[in-house]
Structure formats: structure tokens, C-alpha cells
Chain A
């Protein structure tokens, strides 16, 4: 993995610009970029765009189909589905960014310890990783939520714990590979501290593949949050989430299709957008992979 991350500041802009240009040249990457931007913007400015208060009840207008006053219709309590979808995007974005950021940081630390530390510590950490991975994520999530109660922070903790092994393993493998390089051995001989070796030599070399992995992970995390909220184990009502809108739709399935359509469209578009973007990013950053696919 060549160090594609530039050492100095100004080159970073150039690379970013170049990257966006190259992603834009790939039609699917461009589509992904557009979808993701649309989602981020609409989530950030939900309060400005949304025509109604997402939790305001209006029983007179309940269970309506789409119309000019309610773009995606209303639910069983007369709440405007379009506004709820917009605010649901905030929840999805928050969960994705916070949980992946945390999992990434902890995974990097644990992975580097496993790769660089003594063998017994490596074994202990790997056993810990394997055990977490041996629980199907959703079941682990359900158990935790049942024990501590449903909330947004529980969902985030569950996602962090279950995604740490993915990042940790990649970091460990990379650390093991880099550790055996001669320049690292030279550093050790010259008396460099472990922290310096990890921070200056190993970290920059593992960040590249990790970022690709993280961008491909965002859709999974968003879908998981929606799934847990669908089961009533995510955000608490009346806070809107795409999953809880889908849950409303499930209970109302014989009365109206609109809550299911309203909740699923953003979910599917966003997961698709992040996937296309992630794949395009991977192709740009790792030409070797591109050739093999």
C-alpha cells in the first residue's frame, strides 16, 4: 500500500480535487456523489426544508396519500411523512458518522497493539475479535438493547462494538506486514519509541485501506440503524427515523402503502449512493483491485 496520503498540506487539496474529478468521470461514482450530497444537505437543513413539524399531530389529515400539501402523504397520526423522512436522515447520518468514527479509532488502536505487541496479547485480542464476529450483529444488538433499553446511544455502542473487529483485523495485518520491513527495524535499532514507530510509520500506511473500508461500511450501518428502529429497538418515538417510519408502515400495511414507500426510498437511495461512491473511491485509490474486478 503506497503512501497515497500526502505529507504536507497543499498537496492534499490537489489530490482531493483530482479525486473528485475522477469520481465524477465515473457515471456510477457521480450518481453516488450526488445521492450522498443530497442526503447530507437535506439532513443538515432539514429544519429549513421540512414543510411541517415532524412530530406535530394532525388527526384530521391522517393516512393521506401524496398530494401537494403532503408530498409523501401522512401517517396514522397525521404527521407529514416528507418532513419525518428529512429529519430521519439526521438520525441516520449521526449514527453512521459517530459510530464509524469511534469504531475506526478503537479498531486502529487495538489492531496496532495486536500487530506490534507481544504474541499473547495478540492472541487475546484476536479471540475477542473472533467472538464478537461469531455473534450475528443483529442478535448482539437485540440482546444489548433488551438489557439496557432502546436509545440512539445504545445503537451507536452496538455498532461500534460489532465493527471494531473489521477495522482491527485490517490494521493488525497491515501492522504485521510493515513491522517486518527494514526501515522499521532500523528505527527500533536507533532507539525510536514504540509510540513514534506506530504514529509516524505504521499509522499513515494503514489509513488508506481503512478509509475505503469505512466508506463501504456506511450503508451497512445506516441499514442496521433502520433495522433496529424498525424492530422498535432504536430511536424512541416520536423521534423520526427511517426504520420507525417503516415500522408504522408495517402495522398499517393493509390500510396504506405510503409509509413503507416513504421510509424505504431514502434508505435504499442512500445505501445505494454510499455504495456507488465507496466503490468508485476504492477503484480510484487502489488500481490493483480495479484491474481484478
Chain B
């Protein structure tokens, strides 16, 4: 188990290093000087040299990459040349917004999706099961930004039930919750469909298992069998799926943050890319890659912890 943990962490680190190097190479390969593009057509040669030096662009590529990792180990992610603030401050200032958004969306999706899937499995092939099935597929296929656009159009612009832009005032809890509802809905909707189908499939599989038949044969109450024995096993795959789905969640968060003009990592990446603010691009992409790697590793470990069979095979 310990060896497995070490292996996973090392692999995760390797992926992060590889990803950052790839991004560096991509920035390096672009035709034109990033500093010149950043400063615009009216920049003087001196300004370009200064900014290049500040971004470390005047050094050879391998040196740039090594320096980036060296600084990173000391907790320094570089400086944003436009606002002159540390990149780490900017990125970690935006991160909580995205984390809350993703967290709310996933919890909401689980609260609706898992019971829905459970109901479908218990009433297999009934009319309700078929309708849930079709609605689930429709939810899964609806792109997050389309859901975001419609909720903005219907609930913010037309009905005016929820605010249209921003994340609410700092310190005002209910205002922030109010601002969270629609973006979380836009991200979570496809997960409701996804989780309900997943739980339905795994529930059907578990209900056919021998130990469930034994439990029934012992005359245990149906509710005990379903909720205490079967459901526990049936929700296992959701843990993995959510962990692996972190990438989708981040992508969906990016779109919804843009549609609702809400602060967050996704909007930060979009804004810094459109203004070609490379230090901030590097920092925010790095953090989202790390988030992704951590969540996949964590979901594997949680799975191993929940399922003794997996634990034994490690």
C-alpha cells in the first residue's frame, strides 16, 4: 500500500513536470516575442527588453524551465508583469471560488443523481426508469455553457430570480450562495445524468450478486438489503468517476465562470491567455494540473480504502 502511494505520487509529479515543460516549449515555439505581443505595437525596445528580463524570456529555454521549478520549490510562482503582484497571490486568490463552485455542483449532483439511479435500478424497465434514462442522457449531452446560457436567460434576465454576474459580496454569506446557485446548476446538471446512470448500472450488478441473494434468503427487510448492503457497494464507482472527471469539471467551470462573469481559476486562465500574460498562464495552468493529478490519485486511494479487494491487490 505504501509502495503504491509512493508510486502514484511520483507519477503525479512526473506528469506535472512534463506538462509544465510542454507549456514552456509551446510558448517558446510561438512566432514573435511574447513581451512584444504583451506590450502592444507602441512599446519601445527598452521596455521590451525589461519585460523580457522580468519574465525570464531572455534566457535559453532549459534555463527558463529549471529556474521555474527552482523557484516553485521555494513557493515562488513568479511575478505578474502587468499588475506587479506575485502570481501565487493571484492564483490562490481565485482558487477558492472555483473550488466552492465545483464542490457545490458535485454535491448537488450526488444528492439528486444517486437516489435517481437507485430508484431506476429498483424499478428496472418501468416507465419511470425509461423516462429517467432518456432525461439522464439529455442532461449528459447538454454542454455546460449552453446550460449556463439558458439559466442566465431564463432565471436571471427574464425571471430575475438570481443575480446574473459575479460571485457576491465578500462576507455576505447568503449573497454568495445566491450567486452560486446558477453556475453550480450549469456544471452539475450533466453530472446528475451521469451519476444516475452509473449508479443504476452498478446497483443492478450488485443486486444480482450472491451476497445480496443470501441476505434476502435470510429474510432481511428489503430496505436493509437495498440501502445497507447494495447501495454501499453501488456508489463505489462514483468516487472514481468524480476523481477522473476533475478535468471535465474544470473545463465546465471555465465556461460557466465566463458566462456568469464570476471570478475563478477558469476565468483567470481565459483572461490571462487573451492578454498573453504568460506568468499568470503558467501559474494557473500549473495549479489546475496539480488539482487534476491530486483528485485522480485521491480517488484511487479512497477506492482502495473503501474496497478491500482493491486494497489487497495493491
Interface residues of A (CB under 8 A from B): 28, 127, 130-131, 133-139, 142-148, 219, 223, 226-227, 230-231, 246, 249-250, 253-254, 257, 260, 264, 267-268, 271-272, 275-276, 279, 292-293
Interface residues of B (CB under 8 A from A): 11, 14-16, 18-19, 22-23, 26-27, 29-30, 134, 137-138, 140-143, 145-146, 149-150, 152-153, 157-158, 201, 204-205, 246-248, 250-251, 254-255, 258-259, 269-270, 273-274, 276, 281, 285, 288-289, 292-293
Shortest CB–CB separation between residue B287 and chain A, in angstroms?
11
Shortest CB–CB separation between residue A251 and chain B, in angstroms?
11
The reply to whether B150 and A264 form a contact with Cβ atoms under 8 Å apart is yes
Shortest CB–CB separation between residue B81 and chain A, in angstroms?
16
**Can you give 8 contacting A-B residue pairs, CB < 8 Å?**
A127-B18, A134-B19, A136-B246, A148-B30, A246-B149, A250-B149, A250-B259, A272-B137
Q: Choose from B152, B204, B285 the contact partner of A139 (Cβ within 8 Å).
A: B285
Bound state CA distance, A91 and B158, in angstroms?
A: 31
Q: Choose from B141, B247, B251 the contact partner of A272 (Cβ within 8 Å).
A: B141
Bound state CA distance, A133 and B243, in angstroms?
A: 13
Which of A28, A264, A292 has the most chain B CB atoms inside 10 A of its CB?
A264
Shortest CB–CB separation between residue A31 and chain B, in angstroms?
10
Q: Across the interface, which residues of A come within 8 angstroms of B276, CB to CB?
A: 146
Q: Which residue of A lies closest to B23 (CB)?
A: A143
Q: Choose from A143, A226, A264, A276 the contact partner of B281 (Cβ within 8 Å).
A: A143
Bound state CA distance, A142 and B143, in angstroms?
A: 17
Q: Across the interface, which residues of B come within 8 angstroms of A254, CB to CB?
A: 157
Q: Choose from A28, A138, A145 the contact partner of B251 (Cβ within 8 Å).
A: A138
Bound state CA distance, A137 and B246, in angstroms?
A: 11
Bound state CA distance, A103 and B296, in angstroms?
A: 24
Q: Across the interface, which residues of B come within 8 angstroms of A127, CB to CB?
A: 14-15, 18
The reply to whether A253 and B153 form a contact with Cβ atoms under 8 Å apart is yes
CB-based A-B contact count at 8 angstroms: 116
Q: Choose from B11, B134, B143, B153 the contact partner of A227 (Cβ within 8 Å).
A: B143
The reply to whether B251 and A139 form a contact with Cβ atoms under 8 Å apart is yes
Q: Across the interface, which residues of A come within 8 angstroms of B149, CB to CB?
A: 246, 249-250, 253, 260, 264
Bound state CA distance, A290 and B281, in angstroms?
A: 44
Q: Across the interface, which residues of B come within 8 angstroms of A147, CB to CB?
A: 26-27, 29-30
Given A127-B18, A143-B281, A147-B27, also A260-B150 (CB < 8 A)? yes
Shortest CB–CB separation between residue B281 and chain A, in angstroms?
7
Bound state CA distance, A293 and B141, in angstroms?
A: 18
Bound state CA distance, A272 and B140, in angstroms?
A: 9
Shortest CB–CB separation between residue A177 and chain B, in angstroms?
19
The reply to whether A139 and B269 form a contact with Cβ atoms under 8 Å apart is yes
Bound state CA distance, A292 and B26, in angstroms?
A: 44
The reply to whether B201 and A223 form a contact with Cβ atoms under 8 Å apart is no
- Which 6 A-B pairs have CB atoms at the shortest separation, nearest pair first? A138-B251, A146-B273, A136-B247, A223-B143, A271-B141, A136-B250
Bound state CA distance, A254 and B165, in angstroms?
A: 13
Q: Choose from B153, B254, B289 the contact partner of A138 (Cβ within 8 Å).
A: B254
Q: Across the interface, which residues of A come within 8 angstroms of B292, CB to CB?
A: 134-136
Q: Across the interface, which residues of A come within 8 angstroms of B247, CB to CB?
A: 133-137
Q: Across the interface, which residues of A come within 8 angstroms of B281, CB to CB?
A: 143, 146
Q: Which residue of A lies closest to B275 (CB)?
A: A146
The reply to whether B138 and A272 form a contact with Cβ atoms under 8 Å apart is yes
Shortest CB–CB separation between residue B265 and chain A, in angstroms?
9
Bound state CA distance, A188 and B134, in angstroms?
A: 49
Shortest CB–CB separation between residue B199 and chain A, in angstroms?
12
Bound state CA distance, A162 and B279, in angstroms?
A: 24
Which of A127, A138, A267 has the most chain B CB atoms inside 10 A of its CB?
A138
Q: Which residue of A lies closest to B11 (CB)?
A: A130
Bound state CA distance, A292 and B208, in angstroms?
A: 10
Shortest CB–CB separation between residue B255 and chain A, in angstroms?
6
Q: Choose from B134, B141, B201, B285 the contact partner of A143 (Cβ within 8 Å).
A: B285
Shortest CB–CB separation between residue A100 and chain B, in angstroms?
16
Bound state CA distance, A264 and B145, in angstroms?
A: 10
Q: Across the interface, which residues of B come within 8 angstroms of A134, CB to CB?
A: 15-16, 19, 247, 289, 292-293
Q: Choose from A136, A257, A267 the contact partner of B146 (Cβ within 8 Å).
A: A267
Bound state CA distance, A148 and B31, in angstroms?
A: 8
The reply to whether A142 and B18 form a contact with Cβ atoms under 8 Å apart is no
Bound state CA distance, A142 and B293, in angstroms?
A: 20
The reply to whether A253 and B273 form a contact with Cβ atoms under 8 Å apart is no
Given A28-B134, A131-B22, A143-B26, also A227-B255 (CB < 8 A)? yes
Which of A130, A276, A279 has the most chain B CB atoms inside 10 A of its CB?
A130
Given A127-B18, A139-B251, A147-B26, also A230-B145 (CB < 8 A)? yes
Shortest CB–CB separation between residue B153 and chain A, in angstroms?
6
Q: Across the interface, which residues of A come within 8 angstroms of B251, CB to CB?
A: 136-139
Q: Which residue of B lies closest to A147 (CB)?
A: B30
Shortest CB–CB separation between residue A107 and chain B, in angstroms?
18
- Given A134-B15, A143-B273, A146-B273, 15 further pairs, Cβ under 8 A: A133-B247, A135-B289, A136-B251, A138-B250, A139-B288, A147-B29, A148-B30, A223-B143, A231-B258, A253-B152, A260-B149, A264-B146, A264-B149, A271-B142, A276-B137
Q: Which residue of B lies closest to A130 (CB)?
A: B15
Shortest CB–CB separation between residue B160 and chain A, in angstroms?
11
